[in-house]
Amino acid sequence: MNSTQDLPLDDGTLDRLVDGELSREDYEAVLRSLDRAPGQWRRCALAFLEAQAWRRGLGELRRGADAPSLVTVASRRASASNRWSVLLAVAVSFLVAFGLGLWTRPFSPATPGGGAQMAKELVSGGVPPGEGSPSSAVMPARKPSGPSPSGNVMVVLDGADGSDSREVPVPVYDWSPHSVGVLSQTPTSIPSEVRRAVRAMGYELRLHKQFIQGQTADGRPALIPVEQVEIAPAGRRDYQ
């Protein structure tokens, strides 16, 4: 008889399962734990979807990264009671933001919505020479379909529970009269397979767009557009 006890289905165990770090005995113990608590299969599925979204998004962004510098962003803390419902939301929210990039502008930006997220520090390193002063930051109008980045920065993300961090390269764009149009017309970059998987589980995605405010090392204000994604049971409505 196998004497291996069932492993606790905490976040650390699920992360090791997704990353393939469990031994054969521990792997079988996790499966037994899931079978004895069928409701935990949802958490397990979301953990795999989160990892898939991270791999896909980071792979695309790394291909376009060039000489990144550093940005530190604090993410929203998730409570233990509802962490299973926001694991994917945290990952996808930032993937969408980094798909849009970081925008610098020569005037003070509006205070971003959702004060729980903020830019803590922005160190410039990817801005070409001659574009460091605010007076030269205004660029000719670009077509919304294809603005070109002026450089790249590296964003360091805190994990949802504050125990982990990831570095993600982000393109930097100078603000122009067409920037608002570019941001408003950019569709969500949530992978279609993730959307289908969420719907198949009886849930729906709710999108909320906002800005994270920061500042470059040379003093220019910067905005990071963020699309926050909430996963909620299909048909459920929130009441004030």
| Average pLDDT per consecutive 10 residues, the chain (240 residues; last block may be shorter) | 59 80 83 77 76 63 48 42 41 42 43 36 35 34 50 63 65 65 63 76 76 67 69 62
**What does the pLDDT read at residue 197?**
78
Task: Decide: 73 and 120 in contact? Cβ < 8 Å.
Answer: yes
Residues in the chain: 240
Residue 81 placed within a domain: yes
Residue 79 placed within a domain: yes
**What does the pLDDT read at residue 204?**
81
DSSP state of 189: -
Task: Decide: 169 and 63 in contact? Cβ < 8 Å.
Answer: no
3-state secondary structure of 124: coil
Residue 37 placed within a domain: no
The pTM (predicted TM-score) of the whole model is 0.32
Domain that holds residue 139: 67-233
Residue 115 placed within a domain: yes
**Separation between Cα atoms, residue 163 and residue 165, nearest integer Å:** 7
CA 85: distance to chain centroid? 15
Residue 54 placed within a domain: no
Residue 146 placed within a domain: yes
Q: How many domains does the chain have?
A: 1
Query: 79 exposed, middle or buried (CB, 10 Å; 0-12, 13-18, 19+)?
Result: exposed
